[in-house]
Amino acid sequence: MFDKILIANRGEIALRVLRACKELGIATVAVHSTADADAMHVRLADESVCIGPPPSKDSYLNVPALLAACEITGADAVHPGYGFLSENARFAEILAEHNLHFIGPKAEHIRLMGDKIEAKKTAKKLGIPVVPGSDGAVGPDDDAMGIAQAIGFPVLVKAASGGGGRGMKVAQSAEDLMLALSTASNEAKSAFGDASVYLEKYLQKPRHIEIQVLGDGRGGAIHLGERDCSLQRRHQKVWEEGPSPALDATARKKIGATCARAMQEMKYLGVGTVEFLYEDGEFYFIEMNTRIQVEHPVTEMITDIDLVLEQIRIAAGGDLPVTQDEVVINGHSIECRVNAESPVSFRPSPGKILQYHPPGGLGVRIDSAVYQGYVIPPYYDSLVGKLIVHGKTRQECLMRLRRALDEMVVEGIETTLPLFRALVREPAIIDGDYHIHWLEQYLAGQPAG
């Protein structure tokens, strides 16, 4: 096992990793920018190192500073959390070159899945169903119109290196195609330094369903069921739940087994998420994330498996915690991402939290790094915290969520709490009858069908 882990992240996920380390008896090193000197992860870690000024590129993405922090503190492993360097294959390699363990998958798998075109090809080869689309990148010399017509409009132009919903443009008809191609390509070039784009059939009313996988890197792999992340705004997840209200046990078992088998064949190491769109009873692979996800607590609540703790154990050479047959899905869980944003315009609302009262009680969990008097800096994501609720049934879970949302107080800044309080009372949400475009239609005041 590792002796000392450096957590190359901030906010709630840094705290989440810290908690797993504490339980495992591993010493922790927090790193922080000058803007985060008062952050909770810094206060709770055994040691901390300032790694630079506020902008992420000078601090949380500053590889030389992170290496120096490992050297100074004698850390033997690095946990990247999510975002920042978590899906940077080169970072994983650099750590290895310095005899440091990267707590994550093998660099080759991070690289493979980081390129969505390659990821899709790999998925297909491994027997995972994919969204119909172009065979690879669509360049200026290709007959983009011919390919799009063969797929059938509407089509979605997607960036090969895309992430966070950026570099994606819909072409409703042939007239829109050229503009969508150039806009997506330019956006991809400036955001990811890679202009390559590909085409996909644009699905009209799918759900976003993702499978949590866990591999030991030696050919052993299991799945831990699914999360339904269909409630999205600008392709960003807002509310996640598991099990999906749209799946039955047979469908769950089938897609789960397909993913687990693929991970066994790849000899995948650590935690991962295979993401699908699901429409009319069919699954279509869109991408794989090779890291712990924001919404991982949903799976933890219904499987009673500590994903971050297991991720660390497995990175240190440990075995899978359970066999596939031992995985039991228990009850229902919902996570709300409470952001420091206007619930109407979604404009970020950084600033000082004047009053803070997290909800409690049976089945209620808060993953957050804020406290009363904490100032949310304007430089990073706007997550205040994740409210995660568990119940024996979806109905009990919704009942608890309604109560917990009403109990939660965050004052001094605007938050998306009022949006969740409304959503949890919406008939379509109560019925579990929604798809990936539902929330945007609801917010636009359109009848969401």
AA letter at 430:
I
What six digits make up the tokens of 288? Answer: 């794989």
Would you say 109 or 390 has its CB closer to ligand ADP? 109
Smallest distance from ligand ADP to CB 287, Å: 5
Least distance in Å: CB of 232 to ligand ADP? 5
Cα–Cα distances in Å, from 42 out to 23, 50, 117, 410?
18, 10, 39, 22
- Smallest gap from residue 256 Cβ to ligand ADP (A): 19
Q: In the bound complex, what is the minimum distance in angstroms from residue 36's beta carbon to ligand ADP?
A: 26
For tokens 């406290």, the residue is: 371
Query: How many beta carbons lie within 10 A of that of residue 50, not counting itself?
Result: 16
| Angle 58-382-109 from CA coordinates, rounded to 5° | 60
Q: Which is nearer to ligand ADP, 41 or 435 (CB)?
A: 435
| Dist CA 226 CA 118 (whole Å) | 24
111, 291, 394, 400: which is the annotated catalytic residue? Answer: 291
State in angstroms the smallest separation of the CB of 116 from ligand ADP.
7
Q: How far is the CB of 114 from ligand ADP (least distance, A)?
A: 10
Task: Tell whether omega for the bond before 243 is within 30 degrees of 0, i.e. cis.
Answer: yes
CB 337 within 8 A of CB 239: yes
Q: Locate 44 and state its tokens.
A: 């709770």
Pairwise CA distance, residues 90 & 11, whole Å: 24
- Judged by beta carbon, residue 26 or residue 171, the one nearer ligand ADP is 171
19 catalytically annotated:
no
Hey, what are 141's tokens?
Answer: 């010399």
Residue ranges binding ligand ADP (CB under 6 A):
131, 156, 162-165, 200-203, 208, 232, 235, 275, 277, 286-287, 436
User: Which residues, other chains included, contact 2 with Cβ-Cβ below 8 Å and sequence gap of 6+?
Assistant: 26, 76, 77, 101, 312, 315, 316
CA 95 to CA 66: how far, in whole Å?
10
- Dihedral pair phi/psi, residue 316, rounded to 5°: -85, 10
The residues, any chain, with a CB within 8 Å of residue 346's CB and separated by 6 or more, are 233, 416
- Considering the complex, state which of residue 287 and residue 341 has its C-beta at the smaller distance from ligand ADP: 287
Residue 354: count other Cβ atoms within 10 Å of its Cβ. Answer: 12
Q: Which residues pair with 215 in a beta bridge?
A: 221, 270
| Token reading at 366 | 């808060």
Q: Which string of b and e fits 153-172 if b means at least 16 CB within 10 Å?
A: bbbbbbbbbbeeebbbbebe
28-32 long-range Cβ contacts below 8 angstroms, 24+ apart? 28/4, 29/4, 29/5, 29/69, 29/70, 29/73, 29/75, 31/6, 31/7, 31/59, 31/60, 31/65, 31/66, 31/69, 32/59
Nearer of residues 356 and 442 to ligand ADP, judged by Cβ:
442
Q: Which is nearer to ligand ADP, 35 or 334 (CB)?
A: 334
Residue 375: count other Cβ atoms within 10 Å of its Cβ. Answer: 15
Closer residue to ligand ADP in complex, CB, 36/287: 287
- What's the min distance (Å) between Cβ of 115 and ligand ADP? 12
**Token pair in block for residue 364:** 């209620």
Active-site amino acid positions: 291
